[in-house]
Amino acid sequence: MNFKETLKAEPVRRIDLSFYVEVRKGTTVADAVEKMQASHRKCALVLDGDQLEGIFTAHDIRDLARESDALQQSIDSVMTRNPETISGDASLFEAIQVLNDKPYRYLPVLNKDGHVIGTLTHFAVLKHISDHFPEDIYNLPPEPNRFAQSRDGA
């Protein structure tokens, strides 16, 4: 099976979708940001019960940074509503095309019942692809030119 076929067979839900936090509808921006900071995540999904309401990312913070009362607002007023999502059963191949065609950095992933099971990121996909080529990607010296020119001893 060549690599493209592998990516077509592999569903999105199998990769690391944990790069996000969940916050409730009505949370203040300050609380959401604090939660994101604490877990080193740059994406928050805003939920109402089980239902995905919106998405809020570091990108939005950049745009809010100059507003003086930005932090006290409810997240509902600054989040992006009804964000584009992707199914956990979609193939990674599809996922890569979606990530490349759309401007989004984070795509909420839903299961069959429409519940959030994670968030798809460029990093997770790159990491997954890299895992298939460990020798060419992970087993490299700290600097590209720090390679022995010949085998030595071994």
Partner 1 sequence: MTEVTAAPQLTRKDFVSDQEVRWCPGCGDYAILAQMQRIMPELGIPKEKIVFVSGIGCSSRFPYYMDTYGIHSIHGRAPTLATGLKVANPDLAVWVITGDGDGLSIGGNHMLHVLRRNVDLNIVLFNNRIYGLTKGQYSPTSKPGHVTKSSPMGSVEQSFNPISVAIGAEATFVARSADRNTKHLADILTKAAAHKGTSFVEIYQNCNIYNDGEWLHVTEADVKDDNTLILEDGEPMIFGKDRDRGIRLNGLYPEVVQLGNGTTEKDLLVHDEQAEGPELAYLLSRLGPPEFPVPLGVFRSIERPTYEAQLADQGRRAREERGDGDLATLFHATDTWIVPEDSGWIPPEQRRDVSTEVSPSTPDYTPDIHHEVEQSELQALMEKRIATLDLPEPACVKAETTLAEAIELMQDRNLGCLLVTDDSDRIEGIFAQGDIFSQVARREMDMDTTTVGSLMTSDPTTLSRSAPIGHVLHMMAGHGFRHIPIVNGDGKPVALASFKSILGFLGDLLK
Q: Where do contacts with partner 1 occur on this chain (CB under 8 A)?
A: 2-4, 6-7, 14, 33-34, 36-37, 42, 58-59, 61-66, 68, 70-71, 93, 96-97, 99-100, 103, 105, 121-123, 125-148, 151-154
Residue 77 Cβ vs partner 1, minimum distance, rounded to whole Å: 16
Is the CB of 4 or the CB of 49 nearer to partner 1?
4
Cα–Cα distance measured from residue 20 to residue 36, given in angstroms and rounded to the nearest whole number: 8
The enclosing H or E element of 10 equals none
Cα–Cα distance measured from residue 8 to residue 92, given in angstroms and rounded to the nearest whole number: 6
Residue 88 Cβ vs partner 1, minimum distance, rounded to whole Å: 12
Is the CB of 49 or the CB of 138 nearer to partner 1?
138
Is the CB of 49 or the CB of 103 nearer to partner 1?
103
Cα–Cα distance measured from residue 137 to residue 31, given in angstroms and rounded to the nearest whole number: 38
Phi, psi of 12 (to 5 degrees): -55, -35
Is the CB of 49 or the CB of 101 nearer to partner 1?
101
Name, in order, each residue with C-beta under 8 angstroms of 54's C-beta and a sequence gap of 6 or more: 45, 46, 75, 76, 79, 80, 81, 82, 83
Residue 152 Cβ vs partner 1, minimum distance, rounded to whole Å: 5
Residue 44 Cβ vs partner 1, minimum distance, rounded to whole Å: 11
